[in-house]
Amino acid sequence: MRVQGGPAEGAFLPASTPHVATIRASMSGPALLPSDLAPGLLIGDEVSIGEGALIGGHVVIHSGVRIGAAARIGDHAQIRDGAVIGAGSTVGSYVCVDPGVVIGDRVSVQTRCYVTGGARIEDDVFVGPGVLMTNDNSMNRHDDGFEFEGPLLRRACRVGGGSTLCPGVEIGEEAFVAAGAVVTADVAPRTVVMGVPARAVREVPEADLLQNWR
């Protein structure tokens, strides 16, 4: 289903994802309008919603957003301009997804997460409740040309509830970030990290890899 003439759907994650995703500051475009697709839903222009997608109550979907088939968007979520939500992914209640964010297929972003501008989340990633992603090491001490650096979450990594991901960090494929960790540096593939700041403690065991749970 396309809403207000949205673009054709295609592959949501590019074949080659940069090591550090960047985004320039952007503001909302056209006005939001009420929709009868869900109670209290507000929706912008050029939005595309895939077949079988479920949209919760009081969601705000800004212009240019693409939501894949069978995706689920929880109550009171906000999806900002140009963001992409892949097929079969879940964006939980009260989640904020910033402009230009790309979320792959079969991703689970749990309740009350903040997915900052410039973040990229590959397929089959789990993001626990209340995870906070950041993209500005200067904390607003920058000029207009500053490029924000969001985290990059590689395929099938898992980030525990209440964790903080600092600007530009990469969470490697099948890595595991323990709940409440503050990640200030890249996490290697298949590595378990925990603590403040997060430090490697062991390798993810073979039995925990995604291929054994499909």
121-142+152-214 homologous superfamily: Hexapeptide repeat proteins (2.160.10.10)
Would you state the torsion angle of the CA atoms of residues 60, 62, 65, 71, taken in this order, to the nearest 10 degrees? 0
Interstrand relation of 60-61 and 78-79 (parallel, antiparallel or unpaired):
parallel
pTM value? Answer: 0.87
DSSP, res 50: -
pLDDT in tens, 29-51: 568 999 999 999 999 999 999 99
Percent of the chain with pLDDT over 90: 80
pLDDT digits (tens, 9 = 90+) for 166-188: 999 999 999 999 999 999 999 99
89: Cβ contacts below 8 Å, ≥ 6 apart: 68, 71, 72, 103, 104, 105, 106, 107, 108, 109
Give the pLDDT of residue 145. 87
Dump strand ranges (E) for 8-68. Answer: 21-23, 33-34, 42-43, 47-49, 54-55, 60-61, 66-67
- Residue 102's contacts (CB-CB under 8 Å, 6 or more residues apart) are 12, 13, 14, 21, 83, 84, 119, 120, 121
> Which has more pLDDT, 97 or 10?
97
* Average pLDDT rounded to a whole number, residues 128-149: 92
What is the CATH code of the structural domain delimited by 1-6+33-106? 2.160.10.10
Residue type, 16: S
Per-domain residue ranges of the chain: 1-6+33-106, 121-142+152-214
Can you give the pLDDT at residue 9?
39
CATH topology match: 1-6+33-106 vs 121-142+152-214: yes
Q: Does the pLDDT at position 13 exceed 70?
A: no
pLDDT for 14 beyond 50? no
CA atoms within 13 A on the CB side of 178: 15
